[in-house]
Structure 1
Amino acid sequence: MRIVVIGGTGHIGTYLIPELVARGHEVVVLSRGERTPYQDSGAWRQVELQQADRTAEDAAGTFGRRVRDLQADAVIDLICFTEDSARQLAEALQGEVAHLLHCGTIWVHGPSTVVPTKEDAPRTPFGEYGIQKAAIERYLLTKPQLPATVIHPGHISGPGWAPLNPAGHFDVSVFKKLADGAELALPNLGLETVQHVHAADVAGVFVAALANRSVAIGESFHAVADGAMTLRGYAEGVARWFGQQPNLTYLPWAEWAETVPERDAAATWDHIAHSPHCSMEKAARLLGFRPRYSPLETALDALAWLVENNKLT
């Protein structure tokens, strides 16, 4: 197949593009050109790379037509964040492609209620990101004559960037404390959950959906590691990986939020307010896909890269 991947040089594309090439597909990648893949692969020499500024082209109303004119059999959209952007692309591609795959987010679900959350759970998103992604999903999967699939990743992690830490934000000093055996304060009782997923496993769900087009069209699928981690369990796993005993304390939210910068507190609140724990049963049943990495293995793979590249000492 001829496959166009929009935003293919980032987290997911680093693993997805080489896999598509290995399977014999002809691949065109549209990217702003501001990022290179996190891992080198000879497969990229077989890929057609085109520079594209989607925001500007959406504003001009030309991006959808540009993608259509590439005459792809399938289009994988990894960087669509508004319903208007999704609508422009979908209208241009309707009747022109055999499969459109969109990258969503498990945050379309809003706060977890019954866990593990399945794809058909009611949508109660909050925050602009989750709300827009839920609107995109609703539009794509209810548009007649559009062969679409939506893949909802959890928190994407892997070698090359810092994963979400056990305090629910992105400051790598949290990992340093755990490595040193220093005391780490967690909000509340540390029992809220986060759900990582390795970028390779997210890519795997997209590949599986392409390979099982007949059952994937019109459906959404989670892309997460099996199971979620509590903040406490995550911290304990990281500490022991460093050969330390966990040294954890707990503070009520209001007190804890005063101990970190406002930006970190906001990130933590977003994550613990969602406390996701999503199911992978549907992907296993319909696509035959099961994630390779556990939640902790996912985070530790990213953490090992930080250590090996002197991002964390």
Structure 2
Amino acid sequence: MRVVIIGATGHIGGYLVPRLVHAGHDVVAVSRGRRAPYREDLAWKSIETVTLDREAEDRAGTFGTRIAELGADVVIDLVCFTRDAAQQLVEALRDTGALLVHCGSIWVHGASAAVPTRENEAREAFGQYGVGKSEIEAYLRDEYEQSGFRSIELHPGHISGPGWAVINPAGNLDLTVWEALAAGATVTLPHLGLETVHHVHADDVAQAFERAIDAPAAALGRSFHVVSERAVTLRGYAQEVASWFGREAVLAFASFEEFRTVVGQGNADVTSDHVSRSPSMSIELAREVLGYDPQHTSFEAVHEALGWLDAHGEVDLGTGLVRDTPAGT
């Protein structure tokens, strides 16, 4: 099939483009052209590339038309954040017969009431990002039910892998947390450290998008979680990471206001975004309908990411990672 990927050089695209090329698809990679892919692969030499500034094209009302003109059988949209942007694309694709596979987020759910959270749970999104993704999801579902426009929605968790910082055991992106755990220094966690985060390796997200292309009719108009098999608590996460350096985690626990004082406003705000949701998502439906089969646990995805950060001088882990194979979770 001819597959157009919008946002092809990002975290997911670095794995998805090679997957689709090796599977025999004709791939068109659409991006702003401002950065190279996160992963090198010979597959990038055999694709068509299109440079588009989505924000500018959306403002001009031309983005959807530009994508439709590429003649795709499938359009994978990895960088859509508003209902208006989704509507422009849908209207342009409506008469082409193309399948739209959209990248959402587990943040459409807001805070979990019971875990693991299933796809059919009520949406109680909050925050600009989560609300925007929730509005897109509702719009695409309504379009399928009312006009038959074919779409599938995939909701990744925190996308992790080599090449970028990932959410750490304090629920934020502060690289010094890894260094503290490696050195046996104290790491402060909010509350009792029992809030959860749910990672997913970027290649497992790519796997889900690849499977969605060939998904059965039962997948149309529906949403699927794309995460590792199990979420992790902040406390357990910290203990696991410390064990990679042959240590026990040295942890302190604080009220959130105290935590904010210790880690700073910016880090605390990122932590708040995560612990206020504390996701723990079910992948039962994705397994059943799409055949999704994650190949990385949360800890394995983080271990690989941390190894890359260490190898590229982004963090100072002293003697480096001791254990090569994280415990399963």
TM-score by length of 1: 0.99
Q: State how far apart, in whole Å, the 2-side matches of 1:213 and 1:27 are.
A: 21
Matched with 2:215 is 212
Matched with 2:296 is 293
Matched with 1:192 is 195
SS in 2 for 1:11: coil
The 10-residue stretch of structure 1 (211-220 or 159-168) with the greater mean CA deviation from structure 2: 211-220
Q: State how far apart, in whole Å, the 2-side matches of 1:42 and 1:79 are.
A: 24
Q: State how far apart, in whole Å, the 1-side matches of 2:174 and 2:121 are.
A: 32
Matched with 1:271 is 274
Identify the match of residue 308 of structure 2 among 298, 302, 305: 305
Post-superposition Cα deviations, 1:206-253, rounded to whole Å, max 9, x if no partner, equal: 111112142221111111001110000110111001221111111111
Matched with 1:49 is 49
Matched with 1:170 is 173
Identity %: 50
Q: Are 1:160 and 2:163 an aligned pair?
A: yes
How do 1:129-140 residues align onto structure 2 when only pairs under 5 Å count? 129-140=129-140
The structural deviation recorded for 1:98 is 3.1
Q: State how far apart, in whole Å, the 1-side matches of 2:163 and 2:183 are.
A: 22
Give the direction of change, closer, same or farther, for the CA distance of 1:253–1:267 in structure 2 (3 Å limit).
same
The structural deviation recorded for 1:261 is 1.9
Q: State how far apart, in whole Å, the 2-side matches of 1:142 and 1:231 are.
A: 37
Runs of 4+ in structure 1 over 3 Å off: none
SS in 1 for 2:173: coil
Code of the aligned partner of 2:154: I
Give unpaired runs (5+ residues) of structure 1.
Answer: none
Give unpaired runs (5+ residues) of structure 2.
Answer: 317-329
Post-superposition Cα deviations, 1:66-90, rounded to whole Å, max 9, x if no partner, equal: 0011110010000000110000001
Tell me the number of residue pairs that the alignment of Structure 1 and Structure 2 aligns.
313
Code of the aligned partner of 1:192: E
Q: Are 1:241 and 2:247 an aligned pair?
A: no
Q: State how far apart, in whole Å, the 1-side matches of 2:303 and 2:260 are.
A: 26
The structural deviation recorded for 1:254 is 1.2
Q: Are 1:148 and 2:148 an aligned pair?
A: no
The structural deviation recorded for 1:303 is 0.5
The structural deviation recorded for 1:192 is 0.2
How do 1:77-88 residues align onto structure 2 when only pairs under 5 Å count? 77-88=77-88
CA RMSD of superposed structures (Å) = 0.8
Code of the aligned partner of 2:21: V
Matched with 2:322 is none
Code of the aligned partner of 2:116: P
Q: State how far apart, in whole Å, the 2-side matches of 1:309 and 1:136 are.
A: 37
| Residues 156 and 226, structure 2, Cα contact 8 Å, conserved in 1 | yes
